[in-house]
Structure 1
Amino acid sequence: MKNISLRLIILPLLIVSCTTDTIDNIESIDSKISSKESEKSARLVQNMTPENLANIYDFAGKLHNDILDAYLSGNYQYNTIGQISQQIETIAAQNNDLMLLTSGTNLSPNLIVIQEIINNPQSKLDQTILNSTMTIAAKDNLSNFMNDILLWENDSYEEIYQYIISFESAVIANQAFNSEDKRIILTTSSIARYSTYYALERKDKDWDTSTGHRVAGVSGAIDDPCTAIKRSLVTGIMIYNQ
């Protein structure tokens, strides 16, 4: 009788012990899987490139990242729009690809506009799109795209990339948009695609979560891709340094 009682006492203890061990093992496995998924995601970003050659303005985003990388690598301590703008102009002048875009023109990033964007990016975005020469359909399309960007914060770059290239494909195929509509929208999306990649690659989301540099990209794209690149950079760096 005592042996039976003893077994009845030990059995639940063994069950509890096994259950605890099982839970611990499951949690350990989950932790390892989660860690491997994170590593896989990190490798995916490293192995991916942000380019989309279907977008003929893809170069805008690439040049944006090249010049940004050169600026940040220089460890410059500038803290005014004028100083940052001057340094960006210096770096840009050494970039042969960007110089080919100027075609003899050299529009300044417009320091007043940049300050207005920093002060109130959403208001400046709405004003810029409203006052542009784009068709009504294109204005709505660009506004929706810029609003959608705000929802990207917790998405992986793979998801963001797929969204942007799908958006760009739709813009390219849209026969209702004229060439200027497409130039402005596709320049904007290219800079957004590359700058998001840059932020995730550097693991520095503070750069990409600043709406200002994207708004500056739109503002500059109204004029030309070169202005879009430089205005976006100066605005983004100024916000980043604050």
Structure 2
Amino acid sequence: MIKNTLGLAVLALCMFSCSPDTTEISNETQTKGISKLLKTEINPENPANPYDSTGKVYYQLLLEMNYGSAWSNIHDVVSAVESHALLNDEFKILAGKSYFAISQGQEEFIAGVDSNVVLGNPQLSVVAREHLRFLFSKFSAPDYTQQEFDLFCNSLKGFEHNVLLDVKLNSYDKKVVLTTATIARYAAARDKGKGKDKDWRLSTNNIVAAAVGAMESEAKAVTMAMAEGIYNAGGI
């Protein structure tokens, strides 16, 4: 028990030593980021979520990413994801000047995702952790794969609405939960849309990785969710 507690504490220090990034993206960038998504006839936009643009950047990067068969370990996957992201103008705006590369501790987390790093983390209030627990459960539910996207998307929007109205959450709690939720919504669109990439797979671990990244910054939520999705699909 003591060993596990110390392990989580060390990992938390590796992950969350940086100040939260609250960079916003212009309306023009948001519009550009959604253009390819709308061609799939699936529209996961939720303007009510103030972090919706983060999900759009995540989705755009997924569309543009070229997956490499030569990646032999988690470090190669992370390096490829971050190199790709940092060439994208929308991501660079999101990251601002304070993006820190995915650390070794974060790589280890992606390789062996443990939701307790989020659900047991005192940086978040108990109420925020319960919201995230509920969000994770939506993607692990047995009927997730059978649900039509419109219905599933509407249920996520309802979840986000409740988070926005929850007076028990502070601004940091809401940032983490809503950033995770918008990435989850766009990930579901990719997963349920036509022509989804066989080299990327959605799982609850994607959403957990997004939450861990969101505790540091919106940009880190994007790269950690992407890296986990590719790593998971590759079976590395």
SS of 2:146 mapped into structure 1: coil
What is the alpha-carbon distance in structure 1 between the residues aligned to residue 39 and residue 178 of structure 2?
22
Deviation at 1:148, TM superposition (A): 2.3
- Check the 8 A contact 2:202/2:229 in 1, yes or no: no
- 1:58 has 2:52 as partner: yes
Structure 2 match to 1:70:
64
Q: Which protein shows a greater Rg?
A: 1
- CA 125–96 in structure 1, closer or farther in 2 if over 3 Å, else same: same
User: Which of 140, 145, 152 is matched with 2:130 structurally?
Assistant: 140
State the percentage of identical aligned residues: 25
Contact 2:160 2:181 in 1 (8 A): yes
> Could you tell me which residue of structure 2 aligns to residue 231 of structure 1?
224
In 1, the alpha carbon distance for the partners of 2:205 and 2:107 equals 9
| Contact 2:201 2:232 survives alignment (8 Å) | no
Is the CA contact (8 Å cut-off) linking 2:118 and 2:129 kept in structure 1? no
Deviations 1:127-186 (A, max 9, x none): 323114122111112112211221222211111101000111111111221111110000
Question: Is the alpha carbon distance of 1:81 and 1:140 closer, same or farther for their aligned partners in structure 2, counting shifts above 3 Å?
Answer: same
Gaps of 5+ in 1: 1-43
State the secondary structure of the residue aligned to 1:63: helix
Match for 2:186: what amino acid?
Y
Q: How far apart are residue 101 of structure 1 and its match?
A: 2.2
State the number of aligned residues: 194
Q: How does 1:184-199 map to 2 (within 5 A)?
A: 184-199=176-191
Residues 111 and 66 of structure 1: CA distance in aligned 2, closer, same or farther (over 3 Å): farther
Match of 1:181 in 2: 173
* Contact kept? 2:203, 2:229, Cα under 8 Å: yes
| Contact kept? 2:139, 2:203, Cα under 8 Å | no
TM-score normalised by structure 1 residue count? 0.73
Task: Tell me: CA distance 1:75–1:207, structure 2 relative to 1, closer, same or farther (3 Å).
Answer: closer
1:201-240, CA deviations, whole angstroms, 9 ceiling, x for partnerless residues?
A: 1346884442222111011011111001001111110111
Q: Which piece of structure 1 moves more, 154-163 or 89-98?
A: 89-98
Q: Does 1:164 align with 2:156?
A: yes
Please give the alpha-carbon distance, in whole angstroms, between the structure 2 residues aligned to 1:179 and 1:53.
18
Matched, 1:86 2:86: no
| CA RMSD after TM alignment | 2.1
Structure 1 CA distance for aligned equivalents of residues 56 and 197 of structure 2: 18
Aligned partner of residue 53 in structure 1, secondary structure: coil
| C-alpha contact (below 8 Å) 1:207/1:240 kept by paired residues | yes
C-alpha spacing 1:69/1:47, structure 2 compared with 1 (3 Å): closer
Do structure 1's residue 219 and structure 2's residue 217 form an aligned pair?
no
| Aligned amino acid, residue 116 of structure 2 | D
Aligned-partner Cα distance in 1 for 2:204–2:107: 12
Q: Show the counterpart of 2:145.
A: 153
Using the size of structure 2 for normalisation, the TM-score is 0.75
| Aligned with residue 100 of structure 1, among 93, 111, 115 | 93
In 2: Cα distance, 1:90 partner to 1:58 partner: 23
Q: Find the counterpart in structure 2 of residue 128 from structure 1.
A: 118
Matched letter for residue 137 of structure 1:
V
Residue 240 (structure 1) aligns with: 233
User: Deviation string for 1:64-91 (max 9, x for gaps)?
Assistant: 11112211xx242223211121121221
What SS class does the counterpart of residue 131 from structure 1 fall into?
Answer: coil
Q: Is the contact made by 1:195 and 1:208 (CA closer than 8 Å) also made in structure 2?
A: no
Does the CA contact (< 8 Å) of 2:187 and 2:202 recur in 1? no
SS across alignment from 1:55? coil
